[in-house]
């Protein structure tokens, strides 16, 4: 009985030490920044034919007056507006279902982007569906040609998976990573939020790899 209790206490102490070490590493080292930088493998700084802005979360889903973008979607769209004011693209595709595309379109227009060049892809609910439905939209618009330069804009932590999913569908793309976790990593207060974002993304990477989507 005593041996069993000592074993349980030993495991508990080991877990406490592991938690303390993890706390120190996340809070006081640039781990988040280093990992996010590795995931954002392509930092494309040119223009193109089509800029595809991938939606993330919705704070208030839907298409009504109370609709609100989540932080990641807002950051990507705001960053896209800045890119569109400084680089040349013929078309912009905002991709995401549940009201995402419509809300992103509205924010881009409010930021000074010409509405006539914005195309909405409103069916996707995942990165895989982003690629499927964007490809279908571009084909229907006769914009998907061998020479078409397609550039994806998404969060830094999401860039690696998005790039490989789109390429898996036969589209050669470049990526503009919006600095999301990289910004969070600059503050000790938000590093843990960035850490859990990366942890969640790694889980999705593993699931996509298992399903053969990368």
Q: What DSSP letter does each residue of 97-152 carry, written as one string? A: TTTHHHHHHHHHHHTT--GGGEEEE----SHHHHHHHHHHHHHHTT---TT--EEE
Whether 21 and 13 have beta carbons less than 8 Å apart is answered as: no
Report the distance separating Cα 167 and Cα 47, nearest Å: 19
Side-chain half-sphere CA neighbours of 159 within 13 A = 27
Residue 32 counted as domain residue: no
**At how many degrees (to 10) do helices 2-28 and 191-210 cross?**
110
Residue 88 counted as domain residue: yes
Confidence of residue 196 (pLDDT cuts 50, 70, 90): confident
Host domain of residue 103: 37-210
**pTM, 2 dp:** 0.86
Residue 114 counted as domain residue: yes
CATH code (residue 134): 3.40.50.620
Give the H or E element holding residue 54: strand 48-54
* Cα distances (angstroms) measured from residue 101 to each of 36, 63, 104: 25, 9, 5
Report the distance separating Cα 22 and Cα 56, nearest Å: 28
Whether 137 and 50 have beta carbons less than 8 Å apart is answered as: no
Residue 75 counted as domain residue: yes
186-195 residue pLDDT tens: 777 778 888 8
26-65 residue pLDDT tens: 566 666 566 666 666 677 888 999 999 999 999 998 888 7
Residue 129 counted as domain residue: yes
Whole-angstrom distance between the N-terminal and C-terminal Cα of the chain?
50
Inform me whether the pLDDT recorded for 6 exceeds 70.
no
Residue 21 counted as domain residue: no
Residue 111 counted as domain residue: yes
- The structural domain count of the chain equals 1
């Amino acid at each position: 009985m005593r041996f069993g209790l000592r074993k349980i206490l030993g495991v508990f102490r080991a877990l406490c030490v592991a938690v303390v070490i993890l706390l120190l590493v996340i809070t006081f080292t640039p781990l988040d920044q280093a990992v996010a930088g590795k995931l954002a493998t392509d930092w494309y700084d040119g223009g193109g034919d089509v800029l595809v802005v991938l939606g993330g979360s919705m704070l208030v889903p839907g298409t009504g007056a109370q609709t609100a973008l989540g932080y990641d979607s807002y950051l990507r769209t705001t960053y896209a507006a800045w890119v569109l004011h400084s680089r040349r693209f013929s078309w912009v595709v905002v991709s995401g279902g549940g009201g995402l595309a419509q809300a992103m379109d509205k924010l881009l227009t409010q930021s000074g982007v010409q509405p006539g060049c914005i195309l909405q892809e409103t069916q996707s609910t995942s990165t895989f569906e982003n690629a499927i439905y964007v490809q279908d939209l571009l084909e229907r618009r006769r914009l998907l040609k061998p020479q078409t330069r397609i550039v994806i804009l998404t969060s830094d932590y999401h860039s690696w998976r998005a790039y490989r999913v789109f390429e898996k569908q036969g589209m050669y793309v470049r990526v503009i990573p919006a600095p999301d976790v990289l910004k969070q990593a600059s503050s000790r207060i938000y590093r843990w939020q960035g850490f859990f974002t990366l942890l969640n993304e790694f889980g999705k990477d593993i699931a996509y790899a298992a399903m053969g989507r990368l």
